[in-house]
């Protein structure tokens, strides 16, 4: 058991048998009354986000979460298969756990997987990845970098909005948290 003073971003808390990860927290000490901790938590399995407030000093149950480095190998049609970079063991992870990270996942890419008692909870990607544009409409004469945006499909099959001057086969940097275009990559 831990107390509210142990609440930090990334801590996984067990509430009613479910695991919740702390996305944001704030210790509040009002002029009157006791201090409390305001948290924003995300359900590890469902992705649901809730706000929860704890009085200072309240006991909470933290979950033992092991974050390890893995390398993405392939998708076997049902599961996504990752290899532990230390033991070289392969770990199949269901599409539900991988969720939206599949939009930015390339073979041989390094990721972190959070495990609880050997069961994968979620897959963490780097903040940005470099992907190649496989299809986009050609730009028109007069397109400028400050113009509008157009849809482009990247090599994972995900579609994002890019500036009008981006062409097919261009390598671009994409934010894995929001799916936004960050810039061109010059190799």
* pLDDT tens digits for range 114-126: 888 888 888 889 9
Q: Show the low-confidence residues of the chain (pLDDT under 50).
A: none
**Of 172, 135, 130, 171, which Cα lies nearest the Cα of 150?**
135
**Distance from CA of residue 22 to its chain's centroid?**
14
- The domain limits of the chain are 2-60, 66-124, 128-184
**Of 108, 111, 157, 107, which Cα lies nearest the Cα of 135?**
157
Tokens of 22: 């702390």
State residue 11's pLDDT score. 85
State residue 128's pLDDT score. 92
Q: CA-CA distance, 48 to 46, in Å (whole number)?
A: 5
* Intrachain domains 66-124 and 128-184 with the same fold: yes
**Of 187, 165, 162, which Cα lies nearest the Cα of 174?**
162
Q: CA-CA distance, 119 to 91, in Å (whole number)?
A: 10
Q: Which CATH fold would you assign to the domain 128-184?
A: OB fold (Dihydrolipoamide Acetyltransferase, E2P) (2.40.50)
pLDDT in tens, 3-13: 888 888 878 88
Q: Which CATH fold would you assign to the domain 2-60?
A: SH3 type barrels. (2.30.30)
The CATH homologous superfamily for domain 66-124 is Nucleic acid-binding proteins (2.40.50.140)
State residue 85's pLDDT score. 93
């Amino acid at each position: 058991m831990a107390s509210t003073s142990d609440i930090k971003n990334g801590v996984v808390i067990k509430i009613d048998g479910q695991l919740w990860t702390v996305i944001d927290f704030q210790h509040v000490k009002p002029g009157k009354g006791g201090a409390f901790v305001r948290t924003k938590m995300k359900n590890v399995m469902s992705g649901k986000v809730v706000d929860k407030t704890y009085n200072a000093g309240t006991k909470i149950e933290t979950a033992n979460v092991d974050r390890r480095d893995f390398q993405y190998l392939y998708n076997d049609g049902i599961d996504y298969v990752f290899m532990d970079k230390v033991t070289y063991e392969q770990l199949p992870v269901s599409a539900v756990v991988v969720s939206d990270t599949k939009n930015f996942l390339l073979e041989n890419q390094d990721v972190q997987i959070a495990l609880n008692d050997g069961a994968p909870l979620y897959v963490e990607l780097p903040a940005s990845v470099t992907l190649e544009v496989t299809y986009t409409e050609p730009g028109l004469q007069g397109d400028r970098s400050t113009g509008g945006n157009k849809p482009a499909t990247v090599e994972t099959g995900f579609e994002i909005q890019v500036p009008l001057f981006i062409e097919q086969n261009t390598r671009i940097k994409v934010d894995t948290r929001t799916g936004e275009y960050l810039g061109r990559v010059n190799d």
